[in-house]
Chain A
Amino acid sequence: MNEHKRSFVKSALAGIVIVAALAFFLLPVVWIVITSFKSQGEVFHYPPIFRPNHIDFRHYSSVLNGPGGHALKDSLIVASANTFLALLVGVPTAYSISRFGVGGKNLAFWILSIRMFPPVASAIPLFLLFQKYQLLDTHWALIIAYLTFNVPFVVWFVKGFFDDLPRDLEEAAMVDGATRWRAFTGVALRLAVPGIVTSALLAFVFSWNEFLLALFLTRSQVRTLPVALANLVGGHEIQWGEIGALTVVAIVPVVILALALQRYVVRGLTFGAVKG
């Protein structure tokens, strides 16, 4: 009986801790959503208003018709093109390293170490390089620069999936007369689709969220969401409702992905060290 009571108290305590933790980690996000519905007067009201008067989307439409819409488009272009290129060069590399051990461990770990590269160290040389080829302030600047972190990511993440695939099927296809290339595209690629799709979505998020390189390499023609948000916060008349709305626009796709990809995210964020 006593034992029973103690375990009840323990699970009740665990419940309280979890609820408190979720409140701590989620309420700031909820607060931004609330802010996106507030009028300027409501934002500055004290005590703070927890339920705004009008739940409507006027800030969303005004910010998306202004700088936000442009930024949304730029972010979509940069993140999708970068993801596509990262997969294009990353997936074959992942396959080659997984199946043939190309370059031994050194190549694999050289690629991993690039993922840890501090962006502030590559930002200035990339700035000068892109200046030389007149790529500054273009989509291409970011599409190329973001390969520094997304190619290593795709290679390591997808390699893990190829490692888990049995090679019998590819070998069987080759016995039946398929070339190595056919065995890769027809068999291995098809089986690794879930892993490749997951890596694409995560790579997309990494591009979508990036700020420092975007700040260095673009200015007025191209402005991704994080840069547009930072500009709005640094502006003269700060429209908090619009900032809240654009922040929500920037985080909603990511939150959906986080919920959907839960078990792969940890694997992705730890370079495959934790399979989650």
Chain B
Amino acid sequence: MAITRRQGTATASGTGSGGPPLSRLPRPHRSGAPLFAWLMVLPAVAVLLAVTVYPLIYSLRASFYRIELSFSPIRHWVGLQNYVDAFTHDPRFWPAMGRSFYLVGFGVLIELVLGFGLALVLNRLGRTRTLVTALLLVPVMIAPVAVAIEGVVIFNHSWGPLNYLLSQIGINGPVWLGDRSVALNSILLADVWQWTPFVTIILAAGLRTLPEEQYEAAEVDGATGWQLFRTMTLPLLQPLIIVTVLIRAMDIFKTFDTIYVMTGGGPGSATETASFYTYLQGLQFFSFGYAAAISYIQLIVITIVATFLVRRMRKGLA
């Protein structure tokens, strides 16, 4: 353990984070930025206003109308009716939200536990660590649609390799994508496959920044490995763990690509999550007003999570 931590420090200084402490660098001029500085941010601010704030305002307005483009281009003002419908009349929206939360809850939990365990093992490696880390990045970087296609091919219950391998050890594999009680977990498995290495790599980087002297002192005092983990590692890594959890929670909540390709929301509506249901309302049923309303409800959920995340990062973790 001690050896891996020492190597970690060497890597960290190589990437620049081991440089002089920030306080020694000259601070940016907070007040009175020159005109030149404002001109430099202007294009980006204009672009971001156009592609995010404008759509936000537009869809907020749309959410107060009934817009059924599959019937007619005419829109009717309905006030808050779309929101009322989502909360009271729609039998599909809240189950879809429930599935989103199911994926978020179990996805974050599994990825965190597996990712943490793997991070601890990864940091025990010597020279091969860099290579293993690079290979672990492969799932993280590839397109979710590519992950979904892997899923379709591997989960196929009649000719896929997974059920064949399971049958070799005497397990009768399920119909991964076609069974109502399994399909959502297959989506979950695809997410765990793609994102556990992400959690691993972040936490492994965090573990390498832990103060070695404190561990040595605690070991001299006779602390066991588990005690060290519980009383030192976990509390020291807590800010990083929280950021990781929030990033994953937000991204899982937005999951769409794998569902679209692997199950199309089915069988029935077994894998219909909130984001997938919004897509159906918008692009399949062309109920733009209602789709806008339910996307606003999701936006509020994500904003709550994101606010916690940004606040965490503001506290100086960055």
Minimum CB–CB distance from B105 to chain A (whole Å) comes to 18
At the interface with chain B, which of A51-59, A60-68, A204-212? A204-212
List A113-158 residues whose CB lies under 8 Å from chain B: 113-114, 116-129, 144-145, 147-148, 151-152, 155
Scan A6-36; emit 1 where CB is below 8 A from any B CB, else 0.
0000110010011001101110110110010
Bin the interface of chain A by size. Answer: 35 or more
> Which among A32, A111, A180, A271 is the interface contact of B149 at CB below 8 angstroms?
A32
> Which among A209, A215, A274 is the interface contact of B240 at CB below 8 angstroms?
A274
Scan B146-181; emit 1 where CB is below 8 A from any A CB, else 0.
111110111000111100100000000000000000
Contact status B256-A211, CB under 8 Å: yes
Minimum CB–CB distance from A83 to chain B (whole Å) comes to 14
Known: A17-B118, A100-B28. A22 touches B132 (CB 8 A): yes
Contact status B275-A31, CB under 8 Å: no
Contact status A26-B135, CB under 8 Å: yes
Contacts of A17 in B (CB 8 A): 118, 121
Q: How far, in angstroms, from A145 to B147 measured CA to CA in the complex?
A: 23
Minimum CB–CB distance from B119 to chain A (whole Å) comes to 11
Contacts of A128 in B (CB 8 A): 58, 62, 288
Scan A194-217; emit 1 where CB is below 8 A from any B CB, else 0.
000000000001001101100110
Q: Does A177 reach chain B (CB closer than 8 Å)?
A: no
Contact status B143-A273, CB under 8 Å: no
Contacts of A97 in B (CB 8 A): 41
Q: How far, in angstroms, from A243 to B151 measured CA to CA in the complex?
A: 13
Q: Does B91 reach chain A (CB closer than 8 Å)?
A: no
Q: How far, in angstroms, from A96 to B33 measured CA to CA in the complex?
A: 9
Contacts of B26 in A (CB 8 A): 167
When C-beta atoms are compared, the residue in chain A nearest to B51 turns out to be: A148
When C-beta atoms are compared, the residue in chain A nearest to B167 turns out to be: A47
Contact status A215-B306, CB under 8 Å: no
Contact status B19-A120, CB under 8 Å: no
Q: Does A104 reach chain B (CB closer than 8 Å)?
A: yes
Bin the interface of chain B by size. Answer: 35 or more
Contact status B16-A273, CB under 8 Å: no
Q: Does A80 reach chain B (CB closer than 8 Å)?
A: no
Q: Does B238 reach chain A (CB closer than 8 Å)?
A: no
> Which among A48, A145, A148, A155 is the interface contact of B164 at CB below 8 angstroms?
A48
Contact status B28-A273, CB under 8 Å: no
Q: Does A190 reach chain B (CB closer than 8 Å)?
A: no
Q: Does B82 reach chain A (CB closer than 8 Å)?
A: no
List A155-202 residues whose CB lies under 8 Å from chain B: 155, 164, 166-167, 180-181
List A72-93 residues whose CB lies under 8 Å from chain B: 88-90, 92-93
List B210-241 residues whose CB lies under 8 Å from chain A: 240
Q: Does B74 reach chain A (CB closer than 8 Å)?
A: no
Contact status A243-B149, CB under 8 Å: yes
Scan B25-62; emit 1 where CB is below 8 A from any A CB, else 0.
11011100110111011011101100110111011001
Contact status A262-B133, CB under 8 Å: yes
Contacts of A205 in B (CB 8 A): 141
Scan A246-273; emit 1 where CB is below 8 A from any B CB, else 0.
0100110011011100110110011111
> Which among A118, A125, A126, A164 is the interface contact of B254 at CB below 8 angstroms?
A118
Contact status A209-B134, CB under 8 Å: no
* Inter-chain pairs besides A120-B275, A259-B138, 13 sampled, C-beta below 8 Å: A17-B121, A18-B128, A31-B153, A46-B158, A107-B45, A109-B314, A120-B278, A125-B55, A125-B58, A230-B260, A258-B141, A274-B206, A275-B15
